[in-house]
Structure 1
Amino acid sequence: MSAPGTSAIPDHRALPGLAAAARALLLRDLRLLWRRRGDAAQPALLALLVVTLFALALGGEKQALSRVAAAVLWLAILLAGLLSLDTLFRGDAEDGSLEQWMLAPVPLSWLVAVRTFMHWATTALPLLLATPLLAQLLYLPAQQLPVLMASLALGTPLLSLLGAVVAALTVGMRRSGILLALLALPLYVPVLVFGAGSVAASAQGLDPVGALLILAAGLAIALLLAPLAAATAIRIALT
């Protein structure tokens, strides 16, 4: 029996919903990112360094750079995301936040998905916005830029989702940077092949839609399965 003047119906509004949990995690990550803004800029600097080194290695020749521009940009963004992959869950594991995630009244996979989105938004998205400028530095033909942007828009979230699974598998290990790269690169290579291949097909006058559809299908599957797989890996690592 409920006390007089009170309702026997539980107040579900007191429970944090999915949106509230996502908002709280995003705000926390943004505050931490601002405190470590020097470290947060390292992936972008690495991508810029890769582009610059390729331009210097090829002697600044317009024809040579235009042929490899799409592959270089894809490789630069891939390496930038790989650089920050080890910190995806490690900081939360060290300060005990992952245990709180497991006790939260929202699915662990949802929190993993929010953190993965934050990783993509802070590493790949700035480079995606800077791609038109970097493409001009590498003399990428203007007609290939829309295909490159579409492939990056589909491929970079897929890289982050795949990386989240690998990062979750190694979250319980110390100094797993090399192992993390060895596990992630075989998963990244097909994305790189189809992403850069779509631009190469466009340059040859072929239809790039096939490669883009494969990236879209991989992204749809990863959106459904990767957070669940990463959440399972975290539970195994912490038990």
Structure 2
Amino acid sequence: MIALLMRDLRLAVRAGGGFGLGLAFFLIVVALVPFSVGPETALLARIAPGVLWLGALLACLLSLDRILALDWEDGSLDLLATAPIPLEGIVSVKALAHWITTALPLVIAAPVLGVLLSLPAQGYLWLIVSLLVGTPALSVIGTFGAALTVGIKRGGLLLSLLVLPLYVPVLIFGAEVARRGAEGQAVQVHLLLLGAITCGAMALLPFASAAVLRVNLR
């Protein structure tokens, strides 16, 4: 499992479309917001949590089609399916590799980019916490979408259409945790709901992804 994880991390870096592209997209989205809504500090501070969460979500979306596509193209996916490792474990490792290479750099960069949007000082901690709790769900859900569309030529658009509705609850509760934290309000309920979504996705979707892959590999 560890060897598979290290292999996926190396492939994500070498093949491109990993953390570099995600970070660049995240920076562009955040940098363009002040130009579109104006430089008013109060307005930027109010919308900062939602903008940062939306930027992180869209940045994660960019590299979803690469989670399984490279293994499908070179035939490695067929070998992995016949390996002694359960296919559910392989799918979980793929999701973990995506989170490390794409989502984790966004979590680290989010507070820095929050300065551009005048995010209140008390909001930085809750922004990081909400991203740490919510982004694993984005990777797991994205892996499920990648399993559904693996082998489809130019399936990136279809993948986005399938995954985005499933991302909406994560976006709602993640942005709400960051917003309430920035305003000094209670965040416990929304943070627990966000954690429940992540735990539910991590518990159920690897089995669904593995089942879909078995059908696609027949």
Q: Structure 2 length as normaliser, TM-score? A: 0.95
* C-alpha separation in 1, matches of 2:84 and 2:98: 23
Counterpart of 1:111 in structure 2 is: 90
Q: CA deviation at 1:55?
A: 2.0
| Pairing partner for 1:150 from 93, 108, 129 | 129
Counterpart of 2:50 in structure 1 is: 71
Within-5 A mapping of 1:52-201: 52-201=31-180
Within-5 A mapping of 1:18-57: 22-37=1-16, 39-40=17-18, 41-57=20-36
Q: Deviations over 1:28-74 (max 9, x none)?
A: 2233234234x321111111110011122122221111011111110
Larger radius of gyration: 1
Counterpart of 1:230 in structure 2 is: 209
| Mapped contact 1:132–1:145 kept (Cα < 8 A) | yes
Task: Identify if the C-alpha distance between structure 1 residues 62 and 224 changes in structure 2 by more than 3 Å, giving closer, same or farther.
Answer: same
Counterpart of 1:5 in structure 2 is: none
Question: Which amino acid is the alignment partner of residue 235 of structure 1?
Answer: R
Q: Deviations over 1:46-104 (max 9, x none)?
A: 11110011122122221111011111110111001101011110111111111111110
What secondary structure, in the 3-state scheme, does the structure 2 residue paired with 1:192 have?
Answer: helix
Question: Which amino acid is the alignment partner of residue 172 of structure 1?
Answer: G
Query: How many matched pairs?
Result: 217
| Mapped contact 2:53–2:175 kept (Cα < 8 A) | yes
In structure 1, list runs of 5 or more residues that go unmatched: 1-21
What secondary structure, in the 3-state scheme, does the structure 1 residue paired with 2:78 have?
Answer: helix
When the two chains are superposed, the root-mean-square deviation of aligned CA atoms in Å is 1.3
| Pairing partner for 1:209 from 177, 188, 206 | 188
In structure 2, list runs of 5 or more residues that go unmatched: none
Between 1 and 2, higher relative CO (CA 8 Å, sep ≥ 6) is seen in 2
Which has the larger displacement, 54-63 or 211-220? Answer: 54-63
* C-alpha separation in 1, matches of 2:185 and 2:152: 45
Question: Which amino acid is the alignment partner of residue 64 of structure 2?
Answer: L
Q: Structure 1 length as normaliser, TM-score? A: 0.87
Identity %: 48
